[in-house]
């Protein structure tokens, strides 16, 4: 049982590392598009998510969940469904926070990304990258 706990801890740490890289990519793209190109935050958020999706899928497929040996196309489609679902929650929550609170757009997005991460891990492990 200690091996399993250690293995899950390593997988979770890998998931967090990939997720943080994707989240920083997402936030960085949004800030770049808002600050330098004057794109509205909700539009910038869509582009940030699309770029972060590529980072996230690549990191999880070739790193976090590589031992599950899922076929790449199937894993990509399933992970896209999970990511899109998380993004829809993200975008709706983001719109509400931007409209009805005083929270700065970058802090609001950071909080939302953290909130969606746990569900993404569970669905990725149990469905998207499952080999069988």
Reported as type and span, the H/E element at residue 68 is: none
Of 54 and 132, the structure prediction assigns the larger pLDDT to 54
Res. 1: pLDDT tops 60: no
Average pLDDT estimate for 46-66: 96
Q: Among 27-41, 89-103, 110-124, whose mean pLDDT is lowest? A: 110-124
Residue 90 confidence (pLDDT): 86
Average pLDDT estimate for 40-63: 96
Residue 7 confidence (pLDDT): 60
Contact assessment for residue 75 and residue 128, using Cβ atoms and an 8 Å cutoff: yes
Q: How many CB atoms lie within 10 A of CB 82?
A: 22
Res. 96: pLDDT tops 80: yes
Quick one: DSSP state of residue 53?
Answer: H
Instruction: Using alpha carbons only, give the angle 8, 10, 14 rounded to the nearest 5 degrees.
Output: 115
Q: Predicted confidence band at 3 (pLDDT cuts at 50, 70, 90)?
A: low
CA dihedral 115, 37, 28, 80 (to 10 degrees): 60
Token output for 27: 């936030």
Residue 131 confidence (pLDDT): 83
Residue 70 region by backbone torsions, left for phi larger than 0, else alpha for psi between -120 and 50, else beta: beta
Among candidate residues 113, 126, 120, the one with its CA nearest the CA of residue 30: 113
Residue 75 confidence (pLDDT): 96
User: What's the pTM?
Assistant: 0.81
Residue 43 confidence (pLDDT): 95
Q: Predicted confidence band at 119 (pLDDT cuts at 50, 70, 90)?
A: confident
d(CA 15, CA 34): 28
- The domains of the chain are located at 2-128
Quick one: DSSP state of residue 38?
Answer: -
Res. 130: pLDDT tops 70: yes
């Amino acid at each position: 049982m200690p091996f399993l706990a250690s293995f899950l801890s390593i997988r979770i740490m890998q998931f967090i590392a990939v997720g943080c890289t994707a989240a920083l990519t997402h936030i960085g793209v949004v800030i770049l598009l808002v600050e330098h190109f004057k794109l509205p935050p909700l539009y910038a958020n869509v582009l940030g998510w699309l770029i972060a999706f590529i980072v996230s899928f690549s990191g999880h497929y070739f790193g976090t969940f590589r031992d599950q040996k899922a076929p790449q196309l199937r894993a990509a489609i399933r992970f896209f469904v999970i990511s899109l679902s998380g993004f829809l929650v993200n975008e709706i929550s983001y719109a509400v926070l931007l409209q009805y609170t005083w929270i700065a757009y970058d802090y609001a997005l950071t909080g939302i990304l953290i909130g969606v991460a746990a569900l993404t891990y569970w669905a990725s492990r149990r469905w998207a990258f499952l080999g069988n």
